[in-house]
Amino acid sequence: MSRGRFVSLEGLDGAGKSTHLAWLTAHLRGRGIEPVVTREPGGTPLGEKLRELLLHEPMHIDTEALLMFAARREHLAQVIEPALAAGRWVVCDRFSDASFAYQGGGRELGVERLAALEHWVQARADGLLQPDMTLLFDIPLEVSRARLANGRELDRFEREQDAFFERVRAAYLAREAASSGRIRRIDASRSLAEIQADLALLVQQLEAA
């Protein structure tokens, strides 16, 4: 049985993750790989209920962080770990890097308690369960805000002020710098063709790893 691969997509809202996720899924299928496509928060019936609370209900920052990791633990147990054990590829819209960016950076919770939750939820006998590769779609804040100004209703994260998103982006970039190559930053302000060429090369590298 071939080894499963775990790929996550990260970035500010408006970075085009949904578009890139759809292209990546189709690209993998074209290479004979049928991925498990999922998202956070969510990915399970319980996780989707928690997602609705997290995106729309006001709550204490500690509660927000705990619910994020509670949804993640269920997601790992019900979806991600079984798929990887079966040799499947998992493509996930956000994973724990998002918690460090949004709760740690944006909400200024810091990393100490998040690192403790990460270890509790993701520690395995062979180390911390992390994606094999994380695609960080990076755009300037003004591009993110312009793309979100399309008339749709925004969730409580998307309604935050610019300073919040500047902290989120800075936290993502700090996480990338400390990731030893796991997180691959992609300039998402470029054309789709340029981004897709990068993604195709990264998929090829991950297949060969």
Per-domain residue ranges for the chain? 6-208
57 CB neighbour count, 10 Å cutoff: 11
User: Does the predicted TM-score (pTM) go above 0.75?
Assistant: yes
Q: Is 208 exposed, middle or buried (0-12, 13-18, 19+ CB in 10 A)?
A: exposed
User: Cα–Cα distances in Å, from 5 out to 145, 172, 195?
Assistant: 32, 22, 21
Tens of each residue's pLDDT in the chain, 209 residues: 567 999 999 999 888 999 999 999 999 999 999 999 999 999 999 999 999 999 999 999 999 999 999 999 999 999 999 999 999 999 999 999 999 999 999 999 989 999 999 999 999 988 999 999 999 999 988 877 777 766 667 889 888 888 999 999 999 999 999 999 999 999 999 999 999 999 999 999 999 88
- Residue 200 tokens read as 């195709």
Could you say which of 3.30.365.10, 3.40.190.10, 3.30.160.270, 3.40.50.300 is the CATH number of the domain covering 6-208?
A: 3.40.50.300
Q: What is the DSSP letter of 2?
A: P
120 touches 66 (CB < 8 A): no
